[in-house]
Amino acid sequence: AELGFDGVDLAVREGAHVLPERVEDDLPKAYAAITKAGIAVPMITTNIADARHPATRRILQTASSLGIRLYRRPGEKWGNAKSPLQRTAELQPKLRELVALNKEYGIFAGIHNHSGFDLGATPWEVFEMAKSFDARWIGSNFDIAHATIEGGLGGWRSGFRLLASTSRIRMVSVKDFYWKRHANGKWTVRYCPLGEGMVDLPAFVRYLKQIQFAGPISLHMEYPSTGHSPEQQHQQLQIDMKRDLAVLRSAWAKAA
């Protein structure tokens, strides 16, 4: 709140501030502490993928009781499938059960597009997973950095338009990156401060404004913080957060 943020994207998953096995006790406590500070909890980040997992109903029921109507979930594993369409077809029964649970609790699942080798790495794959179901209960948590990694020029744009045209984008994640070439000739992704990498932030913000996006924008800082001690790293992290937030708000203000 002191840094100027409007809310918290609270992680409710293994190793996070709220552990799934303690969600009924700890999520209300975290929610109370955050809202007491004057900021909101519009969404939570989870590893929910299966309605039948013992923690799924407890997480959704507790979040819904607090008025949290959005949760981020990961993509899917490939299994033994040889194509995205084959795997998507195999997953339909499991997704149908999860959508039914979302409807029961009035909560939306945003599938996070995460670059790499799992199903859901591109926005098109997210669309294929969600397209058969009611857009009120499942869609996209659109990560512009991962979408740019997978489709740097036109791919992220067409993926965004596809999901937006079916009212699937209810949540957004923002960070920045660049490709680094190493001495062995291999290229890897390196995350960096917002506005210093390859994400076309002005264009992305314009796209959001064109669809009158009003959901949460979750700002991710995944690049290393300078400083040798934990205290120095913590101080630098706060500086990084404040700077990246200012860059994002400036881009939003400038976008037509």
Q: Is the pLDDT of residue 219 over 80?
A: yes
What is the rounded CA–CA span in Å between residue 128 and residue 159?
11
Tell me the pLDDT tens digit for each residue of 194-218: 999 999 999 999 999 999 999 999 9
- When pLDDT is cut at 50, 70 and 90, the band that residue 225 belongs to is confident
Tell me the pLDDT tens digit for each residue of 226-235: 878 989 999 9
Contacts of 124 (CB under 8 A, 6+ apart): 158, 159, 162
Q: What pLDDT is stored for residue 149 in this prediction?
A: 98
Identity (one letter) of the amino acid at 30? A
Q: What pLDDT is stored for residue 228 in this prediction?
A: 82
Is residue 218 within 8 A of residue 44, CB to CB? The reply is no
Question: What single-letter DSSP state applies at residue 22?
Answer: G
Distances (CA, A) of 64 to 24, 70, 101, 198, 240: 11, 9, 11, 37, 32
What is the rounded CA–CA span in Å between residue 130 and residue 158?
16
User: What does pTM read for this prediction?
Assistant: 0.96
Is residue 12 within 8 A of residue 43, CB to CB? The reply is no
Residue with structure tokens 């860059």? 247
What is the rounded CA–CA span in Å between residue 28 and residue 253?
34
Locate 95 and state its tokens: 């997704």
What is the rounded CA–CA span in Å between residue 172 and residue 174?
7
Q: What pLDDT is stored for residue 105 in this prediction?
A: 98
Question: What single-letter DSSP state applies at residue 55?
Answer: H
Interval 151-160 mean pLDDT: 96
Locate 6 and state its tokens: 């409007």
**Distance in angstroms between the alpha carbons of the first and the last residue of the chain:** 28
Question: For the packed helices 230-254 and 201-210, what is the interaxial angle rounded to 10 degrees?
Answer: 60
